[in-house]
Amino acid sequence: MPTALITGATDGVGRLVANQLAEKGFRMLVHGRNRERGESLVREIEAAGGKATFLRADLASLAEVRSLAEAVKAETPKLELLINNAGIGSTGDRPGRQVSADGHELRFAVNYLAGFLLTHLLIPLLKAAAPSRIVNVASAGQKALDFDDIMLTKNYNGTDAYRHSKLAQVLFTVDLANELKGSGVIANTLHPSTYMNTTMVRQSGTTPISTVETGAEAIMHLAVSPALQGRSGLYFNVLRETKADPQAYDAAARAKLKALSLKLTGL
């Protein structure tokens, strides 16, 4: 039975994708912050005949990201699918600039750095399961990173913070595709849908204009579609392959982000 890990699985589009993957025969490792919601998801999957384990971690802490990776390794020697789906929107639980447990700007930390660290820690498991896949759930909301103020200490606003973090995921995905070439592990990224009916969108005060079902279909396409076999480093807008912000294809910008990320995560 193949194994999949999805972060941010206890709510919204992540929860739906977890259920759909379980239906396709994946043993699910489902991550979230809320144990009650996580355990209810496990019961949901098991009631439908699937297998699931809940792994709790707060991705605003790099120590907890490391603990999550260790918990995954304790559960399985191989990982066929990793979906970095967890994230916070432009406002999160409350507006204003916030920092992570490690002192990094919160959106950059949760939406990008956590996935960067988790993915690197789990690459041996992904290689052991090859052919395997990494899916980074980004956004069409992207803004070029300002390396002189990566933590937005000068002119902070939540929308820019969110867009920076989501573009960072895309730069990371393009890098991963290059690093993993020939390993049997592919990495792709996507904007799942615009303003889905999720907690993140509602917290921002935005009226949803699309459904989690649309987003789930897009994520599932990258996760399991035979059409993606062997294809890596791609960006999709829902189901359509397209181009991200030009900075994603700037090798110097990617090298700068990677060096910074390795330093911040202690890899």
Catalytic residues: 162
In 3D space, the residue among 143, 170, 169 whose CA is nearest the CA of residue 157 turns out to be: 143
Q: In sequence order, what are the residues at sequence separation of 6 or more whose Cβ sits closer than 8 angstroms to the Cβ of residue 207?
A: 195
Residue 202: Cβ within 10 Å count: 14
CA distance 54 to 68: 11
What type of residue sits at position 38?
Answer: G
Count of beta carbons in the 10 Å neighbourhood of residue 104: 19
Q: What whole-number distance in Å separates Cα of residue 174 and Cα of residue 243?
A: 11
85 phi and psi, to 5 degrees?
-110, -25
For residues 152-184, b (16+ Cβ closer than 10 Å) or e, as one string?
A: beeeeebebbbbbbbbbbbbbbbbbbeebeeee
DSSP 3-state of 110:
helix
Distance CA 84, CA 223 (A): 11
